[in-house]
Each structure stands twice: as structure tokens, then as C-alpha cells.
Amino acid sequence: MKMKKFMMSIALAGALLVAPTVSEATVKMGDRGASVTELQQTLASKGHNSSSNVDGVFGPMTLRAVQSYQLAHRISSPAGNFYGVAGPATLSSLGLSASSSSSSSSNSTAVAGASTSSSSSGIISTARSQIGTPYVWGGTTPRGFDCSGFVQYTFAQNGKSTPRTVAQMWSAGTRVSSPSVGDLVFFETRRGPSHVGIYLGGNQFIHAGASTGVTISNMGSSYWSNAYLGAKRL
């Protein structure tokens, strides 16, 4: 009898170890679906989101709402790695479960022909979480970035080291004829490689612009298409 109880205890412990928990849940910039809608509704009920911004799309307004809630509840701050990402601590504080958040789907890598490796997904997730961060010359933290500082920080958060300057990144990278998600795209805004961003797919890239801060831009626009130098992979 004692042996039977012992075996049942082991089985129960094993089940608990493999059961999904809220710590596995993350809702972030670019996600869509019921989990985002629930997040938006809950933030609105707590006064951190507009009731008109409940559309199931995690965009800039939802990002600001999450950041507002995190600051108010001291969950994260602009210096935190997950500022603007509704991770385990934020979801738990809001009373949201892992099961609802696990159904979210990201559109950041759902592009035909684009790389969908876990490495690039992590890089894109980190990059998107910094949308709205101001531009600061020489900046390398979420308090403010310049273009290469933003790339360096984003890659470092995913275990990859990069050179510090745009020119050094250009020299260190391997040239690719067509960028995949997570590759670096370079531009000549003054003589030589002088601006860098991270390719998102769909002809879009995320970067720290001098006049915009961290934002997403279209490489097909007249300005960026004329300044485009090429793509490289680190």
C-alpha cells in the first residue's frame, strides 16, 4: 500500500513538472488573437488602455498600455528587458492565465520565404518590445538608442555579440542577396554604411531613427530604397 502511494506521488509530481504554467506565457508586439483581445480588455478595465483599442492586435497603443501598467505596478521600467512585453509577471498580476495567452500568434515571422528560427524570433520579439524608445546619440540601453546601439542591445539580449558601430557591423557580416527575418539591413544616409536596422520580412525593418526613435519603416519608400546598401548576416 505504501509503495502504491509512493508511485502515485511520483506520477503526480511528474505531471506537475510538465504542466504548462503562466511562466511560459508571453504576449508581445505583433501578436494577434483572443489572448491579445483579453489583454487589451483587462488593461482597459484597469484604466491603462482605451476601450476603443480592443481589436486583438498588439500594436503601439497596446504596447504603451502594457508599459503604463508595468510602471504603475513596478513590474518593469524602461531599463528592464521585458518592458512592454506582457510576460509571466505582467499576466499574473492582471489575472490572466497561460492557457489564454498561449493561443496568441505572431505575425512578425509569418512571411513567405522568411527565416522562422527561434533565434530570429527572439531577436524580433526583443526589437519590437523597444518600439517607441527615444533616439539618443551613442545610446545602447532602453533609456535611448542610436541605430547600432539598438542592434547591439537586441542581439545581446538573445545571446549574440555584435560590433558596436555600423561600419564595423557592415565589415563583420556575411553578404546575403536577399534578407531573411533577423538579418541586418544597411543604408547610406551619409557617405558609406551609416544606418542599420533589423529586417522583419515583408520589406519592413525595425530601427532606431534619429527623428522617430525605435520604429518600423518600409524599405520600399523613396528615401530608404534610394539609401539601401545591402543586407548582411552576423
Which residues are identified as catalytic? 147, 195, 207
Do 122 and 197 belong together in one domain? yes
Q: Which domain holds residue 99?
A: 23-106
The CATH number covering residue 61 comes to: 1.10.101.10
* DSSP-based three-state secondary structure for 13: helix
Residues 28 and 133 in one domain: no
> Which residue did the predictor score with more confidence, 82 or 170?
170
pLDDT digit string, tens, across residues 20-41: 333 346 888 878 777 888 888 8
- Shared domain for 95 and 134, answered yes or no, is no
My answer on whether 126 and 58 are in the same domain is no
CATH number for the domain including 138?
A: 3.90.1720.10
Q: Is residue 13 a part of any domain in this protein? A: no
State the sign of the Cα–Cα–Cα–Cα dihedral 139, 160, 64, 79. Answer: negative
Q: Is residue 10 part of a domain?
A: no
Q: Is the predicted pLDDT of residue 131 greater than 60, yes or no?
A: yes
- Clarify whether residues 155 and 209 are in a common domain: yes
Best CA proximity match to 157, nearest among 123, 120, 195: 123
Its pTM stands at 0.54
Is the model's pLDDT at 117 over the cut of 60?
no
> How deeply is 9 buried, as exposed, middle or buried, from its count of CB atoms within 10 A (0-12, 13-18, 19+)?
exposed
Domain end among 85, 106, 127: 106
What is the total count of domains within the chain?
A: 2
Instruction: Note whether 86 and 160 are same-domain residues.
Output: no
The pLDDT, as a whole number, for residue 208 is: 97
